[in-house]
Amino acid sequence: MTRSDRDEEREERIKTRITVDTYGPEEAAMGWYAYLGDFLDFPFEARCTQQREESPLREGEPVRVVGMSSTEPTLSQMFVTVEWMDRELGVPLEQLEPVGPNDDTEQAIEDWHYWLER
């Protein structure tokens, strides 16, 4: 990410709301997990934007996101629980784009995608 690609407002939110008072990658990952859990308005509709090896979703496939997954969060991958083929499973938030989200959900997902591109 170049200096011109930095979003100062988003950087400030990450620094003061998400990773504040964290002392290592595990704590920062838990900060992200808590932030996403607090600001994503479950359930919401989403669409898969890319196929990934660790997920059965296909590009363009619609899903209903129902919560945060119990999968251990990391600073490079956060999982959410989706309803898929009459069951629930965890998929990477990175591969999803919300469809008609409220403002908090949209901002939280954009924050996470921004973090991953840093």
Residue with the bigger pLDDT between 1 and 25: it is 25
Q: Which residues contact 51 (CB under 8 A, 6 or more apart)?
A: 57, 58, 59, 95
Instruction: Flag whether pLDDT at 41 surpasses 60.
Output: yes
- By CB atoms closer than 10 A (0-12, 13-18, 19+), residue 18 is buried
Domain ranges of the chain: 3-52+63-117
Q: What is the CA radius of gyration of the chain?
A: 14
Q: pTM (2 decimals)?
A: 0.90
Rounded-to-integer distance, Cα 40 and Cα 101, Å: 9
- Band (pLDDT 50/70/90 cuts) for residue 2 is low
